[in-house]
Copies of this chain bind each other. A is one copy, B any other.
Amino acid sequence: MSGLIEHTLRGTWTPSGGSAAPLSPRALRWLRQRIGLAETTTPAVPASLLEVPDSALPEAAREELAALLGEQHVLTDATARLGRAGGMSYTDLMRRRSAAELAVPDAVLLPGDPELVQAALEVCVRHDIAVVPFGGGTSVVGGVDALRGSKAAVVSLDLARLDRLVSLDPSSRIAVLQAGMRAVEAESLLAAQGFTLGHFPQSFERATIGGFAATRSAGQASSGYGRFEDMVTGVRLATPAGEWRLGVAPASAAGPDLRQLAVGSEGALGVITEVAVRVRPVPVHSRYEAFVVDGWQGGVDAVRALAQNRVLADVTRLSDVDETEVQFELTGALKVKALQFLLRSKGIRQPCMLVLGWDAGSRAELARRREATLGVLRSTRAVRLGRAVGETWRSHRFSGPRQRDALLDRGVCVETLETATHWTGISELRSAVRNALVRSLRTGGKKPIVMCHISHAYETGASLYFTVLAPRRSQDPLGQWQQAKQAASDAIAGRGTISHHHAVGADHLPWLAEEIGDIGESVLAAAKQAVDPTGILNPGKLIRPAR
């Protein structure tokens, strides 16, 4: 774990054991031309130079926690605390680079099982200490920022030691996993018994099962495997009011689905300690292919047809013209000019790339499902690019975050944000967010690069995922992005959800009431009051204090 903490400290994404992805000469050239790049690299400040405030954890509380968890599982040293000082948003990474405005927890707790999480919470209630549950630390919405709220001290409750596969029921296809288990580890343990979760968000290399549940995560193959909340059949939470277990049946009419209140509760209504999830057999055959459709609206219509005919591939990902151009330029797998010529000859002037991927248990199933998808796609005049491009996308599917450090080093403001809405409003929403970002991030003569894709389609609508690359302002670089984020969020509010799969955290809280109403906010506050009457759980995230 020390490897992990060290990397986190450096403000990098790269997982323990993995390696950061450098930018290729081709990419550097292209970025320099499009948005400009710093001529010299500025790496992050070494952790040893960061200034960390003293721990404010009262000694009586520390002693009680140490007696409960063991001295070695109550960490107050600067390294451990810095390692949990926020997540992985651009803002988090920038703060770590400069050591500015970092919210550092006063201690890190490492309980070893759900009962100890429960007991630790009760100690924190008695000493009135704020508790921030911490999984993979991949939040990009301030979800793990060590905010104190009204409390005098705040601890990071790191679930890393809750890393067991509790049980696997192959007949019901349900695995019970402890919340701190990393996705990579879960896949490896399940694969040994022939199963998979099929959940592959871009945070896959670091994120945990509990984090997926707490944030309603969606993965790249969610069109086929479902969003994480669709997989959750049960949850176990530690709360100041006691342990809470839910989930006795695949579906129920026994009142509101409280699992759907626990899932997405972001540590504010309890600490998820175990998750029961539906698993599927490891696919034996997979196939990834790329297609090109003409223009964004043509692509939207194609994906909508696939979704509404219920023949979506497991991975279904449509890039807009800008993202397609970047992918063509940067993958290196394509002769861009030749390709554009070819596409133009087929009537495609505004190429939008569509990646489709199927997982199946047999060749016959793969063929049947692929044929059903392509049968509908045929009517859209999509042009097939083939498997090589599809497989290239697949092999780079987790590399985005790994490249962020190199971009930050070269003075680039790089960040993503996402939303979802119904089909009728999807293109208006894309334009509104895009325009807001471009307007906010335009600097001098250079326009930022704003790319967008649909990665999750439903019968009634789809998600939109934006990636932004802009030259970083030297003056107030955090303010530069915060203004852009504000403009994008204002454009989203009323037109779509403030988050399709990144969650609310601290960053989206100002826009939540627009989406769920004052009544929705007061219902959440009331639920919190019931399970966490003194408000120690993740203050400042998801739920505003009752007014």
Contacts and interface: CB of A to CB of B under 8 A. Distances in A.
Contacts of A77: none
Interface string A519-533: 110111111011100
A256 B263 contact: yes
Given A172-B422, A519-B242, A216 B524 contact: no
Nearest to A268: B255
A217 interface: yes
A174 to B, nearest CB: 5
Given A254-B497, A526-B527, 10 more contacts: A173-B308, A227-B251, A229-B257, A239-B519, A244-B519, A250-B458, A255-B503, A519-B530, A523-B527, A523-B531
Contact of A256 (B265, B424, B501, B526): B265
5 contacts: A233-B422, A250-B462, A253-B504, A255-B524, A256-B264
A18 interface: no
A525 B265 CA distance: 18
B262 A256 contact: yes
A404 interface: no
Given A218-B251, A512-B255, A519-B244, A169 B424 contact: yes
Contacts of A375: 364
A261 B458 CA distance: 21
Interface of A: 169, 171-174, 215-218, 227, 229, 233, 239, 241-242, 244-246, 248-258, 260-266, 269, 278, 280, 304, 308-309, 361, 364-365, 368, 372, 375, 419-425, 456, 458-463, 494-504, 508, 512, 515-520, 522-527, 529-531, 542-543
B500 A251 contact: yes
Contacts of A496: 248-249
A500 B420 contact: no
Given A248-B496, A249-B496, A519 B229 contact: no
A501 B421 CA distance: 29
Contacts of A233: 422, 460
Given A249-B420, A421-B249, A519-B242, A256 B462 contact: no
Select the residue from A242, A251, A253, A519 with max chain B CB neighbours within 10 A: A253
A458 B169 CA distance: 15
A505 to B, nearest CB: 10
B517 A246 contact: yes
A508 B371 CA distance: 47
Residue of A171, A245, A263, A422 with most chain B CB atoms under a 10 A cut-off: A422
Contact of A261 (B251, B256, B364, B425): B256
A249 B418 CA distance: 12
Contacts of A365: 309
Contacts of A262: 256
A190 B173 CA distance: 38
A543 to B, nearest CB: 8
